[in-house]
């Protein structure tokens, strides 16, 4: 029989005794205590954490749930930090929301808390994607922004992403300092809240044109699009915000033959047609793949609920639809953009691209082949935005991406942007068509020119206190006794981001690694392959990123070489002694 957790009971009693908590909520709490102790404990055993990326959790009643009270309290903490950072100033913020259940209500609560604190708040009238919110922060000269979304999490979740005045998500020192302020809000009575919409300005769909005008200017081959405007594009928004922007953006780019997966075009926070609204997962793409096969599409595009990430499917050499991973999509986009800019004589000495440290090294090789510098940043698109900010006025950002299906072109959006990415992917499709090729064949051309890189990710979950200790021990072992070789290949370099050093194994020379401290290790093999090891900061999980390299001599070799790459990754996993869950 389940026993009521002491901390959970204390947290619940604080809500039950508070005059600020409504009676309906109190009745639900009492009912949980009597009839569902396990759910009660889970709902109240702690306070929902405001992490470095913002707020995210399961919706429901309780201190550990996303609800009107936890959203308001987290917002008050965020507000307090914004005020602290902008003394004696009229503060402006902007808020948007996705299709998830309660997103619109949470957005309004966030707006009313901010307005009650004297902020001038702009609130989108209807759901709009994350990249539009990021763009709006800078365009409206706001001091901060909030996007209510739980990204690609299951339907039970909601959350929000917190943005600073550059349009990027919070980074140091703001992220930790905001968390400090949020922790100080112990009770709902500390929240300033208004029941009206004073100081709140509603943003209607006329704002879309301002954003679309920026996206359209990204086109590098408008004449080519006009010539191949009838390429068959299949698109699914996975029930999310993408339906409000992606089809229109593609039309404005010049594409006329767009087929939408109707079952998934219905805005629905329950995501009835997919277990998880994540374009990384094949199950979410099945309806799109069915339509793409039916109409013999040139490309399938899929965006996640807040339309910041895009997944694609294209036909391989045999005419079968295959899903491309985030590394492949980012490589295609980087190659196409730089190739066109080079052709047009628009590449300058101060141009640069960005990738995260766990993203394919092929992007660096492609960038440098066009005389463009490539920067590495930590995992997470907020670090790409931060690098853009640090180089503003000195160097010019072209594009950047990460392995987890995020990409951005140009600096008017400071977060992942699936809308502009969809448009450029469609343009690549038209460019391929002009050459009598498919997107997949363009990718093979890249592999022929630069070598074949194949990536994979292994996440190992080890729950409980012992699990956390085991993960720490794994990192300690890798750090203190690193392997000298893997699958018969020497390790030639190790990057230790916690010690902030790069070590050349052959010369034993150590150099300073110009990165903040982070518990990440990378091993580079003599053939150009790379293994990255990174424990999660919020979950009992450790991630292994594998990127292996082989020379591709002819297109005919590709199927066999791809199989060899898989075997290579599996052999490395085995040699690391990893257990696959």
Tens of pLDDT, residue by residue over 194-213, are: 999 999 999 999 999 999 99
Please give the Cα distance from 193 to 111 (Å, whole number): 9
Tell whether 506 and 517 lie within a shared domain: yes
Domain membership of residue 213 (yes or no) is no
Answer whether residue 211 is part of any domain: no
SS3 128: coil
579 has pLDDT over 80: no
Indicate whether 218 belongs to any domain: no
Residue-wise pLDDT for 326-338, tens only, equals 999 999 999 999 9
Radius of gyration from C-alpha coordinates of the chain: 24
Are 171 and 235 in a shared domain? no
Domain shared by 84 and 157, yes or no: yes
Any residues with CB less than 8 A from the CB of 559 and at least 6 apart, and which? none
- Helix, strand, or coil (residue 255): coil
Same domain? For 395 and 504 the reply is no
CATH number at 517 reads 3.30.310
Buried b (16+ CB within 10 A) or exposed e, 551-564: ebeeeebbeebeee
Domain containing 23: what range? 1-46
- Name the pTM for this structure: 0.95
CA-nearest of 193, 282, 288 to 235 is 288
Quick: pLDDT tens for 404-452.
Answer: 999 999 999 999 999 999 999 999 999 999 999 999 999 999 999 999 9
CB 537 within 8 A of CB 528: no
216 inside domain: no
Please choose, from the candidates 145, 133, 130, the residue with its C-alpha nearest in 3D space to the C-alpha of residue 93: 145
492 and 430 within one domain: no
Q: Is pLDDT larger for residue 153 or for residue 355? A: 355
Q: How confident is the model at residue 537 (pLDDT cuts 50, 70, 90)?
A: low
Q: How far is CA 262 from the centre of its chain?
A: 25
Q: How does residue 530 score in pLDDT terms, banded at 50, 70 and 90?
A: very high
Same domain, 465 and 399: no
C-alpha 263/C-alpha 207 separation (Å) is 28
Which residues have CB under 8 Å from 483's CB, separation 6+?
491, 523, 575, 576
Cα separation, 533 vs 551, whole angstroms: 25
**Would you report the helix, strand and coil content of the chain in percent, each value rounded to 5?**
40, 25, 35
Q: Does some domain include residue 193? A: yes
- The answer on pLDDT for 581 being more than 60 is no
Residue 271 placed within a domain: yes
Report how many domains make up the chain: 4
The count of other CB atoms within 10 Å of the CB of residue 165 is 19
Q: Are residues 53 and 19 in the same domain?
A: no
- How far is residue 541 from each of residues 468, 485, 570, measured CA to CA in Å? 8, 25, 20
Residue 423, burial from CB neighbour count under 10 angstroms (0-12, 13-18, 19+): buried
Q: What pLDDT does 465 receive?
A: 64
Which of 327, 324, 336, 311 lies closest to 453, judged by CA?
A: 327
Q: Are residues 86 and 194 in the same domain?
A: yes
Of 43, 134, 151, 404, the catalytic one is 151
510 and 459 co-located in one domain: yes
Q: Which of 175, 204, 233 is the endpoint of a domain?
A: 204
219, part of any domain? no
For residues 324 and 409, membership in a common domain is answered with: yes
On the question of pLDDT at 1 being above 80, the answer is: no
**CATH number reported for the structural domain that contains residue 56 in this entry:** 3.40.120.10
The pLDDT of residue 27: 96
**Is pLDDT above 80 for 259?**
yes
Q: How far apart are CA 261 and CA 476, in angstroms?
A: 48
Tell whether 349 is covered by a domain: yes
Buried b (16+ CB within 10 A) or exposed e, 436-453: eebbbbbbbebbbebbbb
DSSP-derived 3-state class of residue 285: helix
Average pLDDT over residues 36-58: 91
Residues 13 and 116 in one domain: no
User: Is 151 a residue of the active site?
Assistant: yes
Q: Are residues 467 and 571 in the same domain?
A: yes
């Amino acid at each position: 029989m389940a026993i009521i957790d002491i901390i959970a009971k204390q947290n619940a009693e604080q809500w039950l005794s508070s005059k600020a908590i409504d009676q309906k909520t109190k009745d639900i709490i009492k009912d949980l205590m009597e009839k569902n102790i396990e759910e009660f404990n889970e709902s109240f055993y702690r306070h929902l954490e405001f992490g470095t990326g913002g707020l995210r959790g399961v919706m429901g009643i309780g201190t550990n749930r996303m609800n009107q009270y936890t959203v308001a309290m987290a917002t008050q903490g965020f507000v307090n930090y914004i005020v602290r950072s902008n003394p004696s100033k009229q503060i402006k913020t902007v808020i948007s929301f996705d299709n998830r259940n309660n997103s619109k209500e949470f957005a309004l609560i966030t707006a009313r808390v901010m307005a009650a604190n004297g902020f001038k708040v702009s609130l989108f009238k209807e759901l709009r994607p994350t990249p539009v919110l990021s763009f709006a922060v800078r365009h409206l000269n706001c001091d901060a922004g909030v996007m209510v979304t739980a990204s690609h999490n299951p339907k039970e979740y909601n959350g929000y992403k917190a943005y600073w005045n550059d349009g990027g998500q919070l980074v140091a020192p703001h992220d930790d300092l905001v968390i400090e302020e949020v922790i100080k809000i112990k009770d709902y009575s500390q929240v300033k809240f208004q029941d009206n919409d004073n100081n709140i300005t509603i943003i209607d769909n006329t704002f879309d044109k301002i954003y679309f005008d920026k996206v359209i200017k990204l086109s590098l081959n408008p004449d080519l699009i006009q010539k191949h405007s009838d390429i068959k594009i299949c698109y699914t928004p996975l029930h999310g915000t993408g339906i409000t922007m992606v089809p229109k953006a593609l039309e404005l780019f010049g594409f006329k033959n767009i087929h939408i997966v109707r079952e998934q075009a219905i805005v629905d926070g329950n995501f009835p047609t997919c277990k998880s609204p994540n374009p990384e997962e094949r199950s979410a793409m099945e309806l799109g793949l069915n339509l793409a096969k039916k109409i013999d599409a040139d490309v399938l595009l899929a965006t996640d609920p807040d339309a910041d990430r895009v997944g694609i499917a294209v036909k391989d050499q045999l005419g079968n639809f295959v899903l491309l991973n985030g590394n492949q999509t980012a490589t295609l986009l980087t190659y196409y953009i730089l190739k066109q800019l080079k052709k047009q004589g628009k590449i300058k000495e101060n141009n640069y691209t960005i990738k995260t440290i766990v993203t394919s090294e092929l992007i660096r090789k492609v960038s440098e082949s066009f005389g463009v510098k490539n920067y590495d940043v930590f995992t997470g698109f907020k670090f790409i935005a931060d690098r853009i900010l640090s180089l503003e006025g000195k160097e010019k950002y072209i594009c950047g991406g990460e392995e987890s299906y995020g990409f951005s072109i140009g600096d008017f959006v400071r977060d992942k942007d699936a809308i502009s990415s969809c448009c450029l992917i469609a343009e690549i499709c038209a460019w391929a068509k002009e050459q009598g090729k498919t997107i997949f064949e363009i990718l093979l051309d890249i592999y022929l020119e630069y070598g074949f890189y194949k990536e994979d990710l292994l996440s190992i979950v080890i729950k409980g206190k012992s699990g956390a200790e085991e993960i720490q021990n794994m990192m300690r072992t890798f750090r203190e006794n690193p392997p000298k070789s893997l699958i018969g290949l020497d390790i030639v370099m190790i990057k230790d981001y916690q010690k902030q050093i790069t070590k050349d194994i052959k010369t034993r020379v150590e150099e300073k690694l110009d990165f903040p401290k982070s518990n990440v290790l990378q091993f580079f093999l003599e053939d150009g392959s790379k293994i990255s090891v990174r424990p999660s900061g919020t979950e009992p999980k450790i991630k292994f990123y594998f990127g292996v390299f082989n020379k591709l001599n002819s297109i005919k070799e590709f199927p066999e070489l791809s199989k060899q790459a898989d075997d290579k990754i599996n052999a490395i996993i085995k040699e690391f002694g990893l257990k696959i869950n």
